[in-house]
Amino acid sequence: MKTVADYQGKNMLVLGMAKSGYAAAILLHQLGANVIVNDKTPFEENEMAQRLSGQGIEVVCGSHPLELLERNIAIVVKNPGIPYTNPLVAAAQQKGIPVITEVELAYRISEAPFIGITGSNGKTTTTTLTFEMLQEGNKRPLIAGNIGTVACEVAQTAKADEVIVTELSSFQLMGIETFHPKIAVLLNLFDAHLDYHGTKREYGLAKANLFKNQTSSDYSVVNADNEDVMELAKESNGQKVYFSTTQALPDGACLQNDALYFRGEKVIETADIVLPGKHNLENILAAMSVAKLMGVSNEAIEAVLKRFTGVAHRLQYITEVNGRKFYNDSKATNILATQKALSAFTQPVILLAGGLDRGNEFDELIPYFSHVKALVTFGQTAPKLIKAAEKAGMKDIKRVDNVEQAVQQAYELSEEGNVILLSPACASWDQFKTFEDRGDMFIQAVHKLV
């Protein structure tokens, strides 16, 4: 870990707990800062706050009092999920107090370089693939961010000859100042998190922060098939490396003649790739680009792609029951992700969908309903999904209370040779704390059928 004296004796406010806030507070305390942690969950219900208090760190729980800013705060380290409209955050910005996220703190102390990966969809798959390719190629990768361990925990022990592969959200990227990835990857951009960002433009600008500190000695890996990504990448000073599944790219990564190529050299036949879904070829091309830029051999990349079947909750194959195959795609928290999941199958699908209502309709799913024989829906968006299914002329439409009931109903509607797919097209927060909880309930319900 780099020796950072800037925080010694400074008053630092960590706003919001969760894993990232807890890790940031511990790190700042170790660096000699006077740390104040503020979290809305009451102290008596807040195990993390109690642990921090036991280590001599000041904790203020139950609300976000503006008076905290009167204590000569040098920096606010904000939980990514707390919006900038939060009165305490807005007041800090008005006072000119820097508001950063934990990943910025991680970068400041890290001896190891970073690879940053973001996009509306595919981040977790691409980050995991990149890590495994680098590991297979003996490049000493570490994995951090939204996947794996909190970035500032990983950065504390990372060595200069290692590399930190980091999955990054738009929320995290809004709070960076000096964060500077050696390789930045922008996979795609579609309407998502508009309840947080307000507009697609603001959402895109948050994602593009990944590029803002790059120089001509860095690389920007860019999806040539996404117009919004291409527009945002114009702001990058990094060397552009493009990937595409639709066009030949002699200087980039592409799909051509049923094989994947990098800079004109064939890396692997698509028939040898075990990860399902055409959409995953974009993720693979992006990860492959990073691996090749890091000097990984074709043989190492091929070895990973011949064994990698996916990540939990992302088009995850669960089991087969009486000729029905069950897939858990709980991480599909927006329409695009569900479109891609449905595109991965040719056999009849029973779709389980629904969740938090963010104000959007679901007509964009209608063209993908051609092989969906039944919809089982739940959660706040159930009426909207029913409306879209009816527009598509779907006959079997059922509404249930929860995912567990949905599994039973889907099984009753299905027959041998069908796919039963949980791909909600919505966030999980109306009924669950996380999409992982939702996926776990699906898996448990499936196993009860056996």
Residue length of the chain: 450
List residues bridging with 253 in a β-sheet: 243, 262
Angle subtended at Cα 80 by Cα 10 and Cα 1, rounded to the nearest 5 degrees: 50
Reference 384, options 401, 367, 360; nearest CA is 360
List residues bridging with 353 in a β-sheet: 377
- Coil, strand or helix at 402: coil
Annotated binding site for ATP: 119-125
Reference 235, options 253, 200, 209, 206; nearest CA is 209
Q: Could you tell me the two tokens for 60?
A: 């203020």
Compute the distance between CA of residue 77 and CA of residue 108 in angstroms, rounded to an integer.
13
Lookup result for tokens 């909600």: 424
Annotated binding site: 119-125
How would you label 319-343 residue by residue, b for 16+ Cβ within 10 Å and e otherwise? eeeeebbbbbbbbbbbbbbbbbbbe
- Coil, strand or helix at 321: strand
Q: What is the DSSP string of 217-261?
A: TSEEEEETT-HHHHHHHTT--SEEEEEESSS--TTSEEEETTEEE
Please tell me the number of Cα atoms within 13 Å of 287 on its side-chain side: 31
> Contact at 8 Å (CB) between 349 and 421?
yes
Farthest CA pair distance, the chain: 67
CA distances from 350 to 101, 186, 353, 422 (A): 40, 32, 10, 9
DSSP designation for 100: E
Q: In sequence order, which residues have a C-beta less than 8 Å from that of residue 109 and are 6 or more positions away? A: 1, 2, 4, 27, 31, 152, 155, 156
Sheet holding 265-269, edge to edge: 141-145, 163-167, 114-118, 183-186, 219-223, 239-244, 253-256, 259-262, 265-269
Compute the distance between CA of residue 23 and CA of residue 14 in angstroms, rounded to an integer.
10
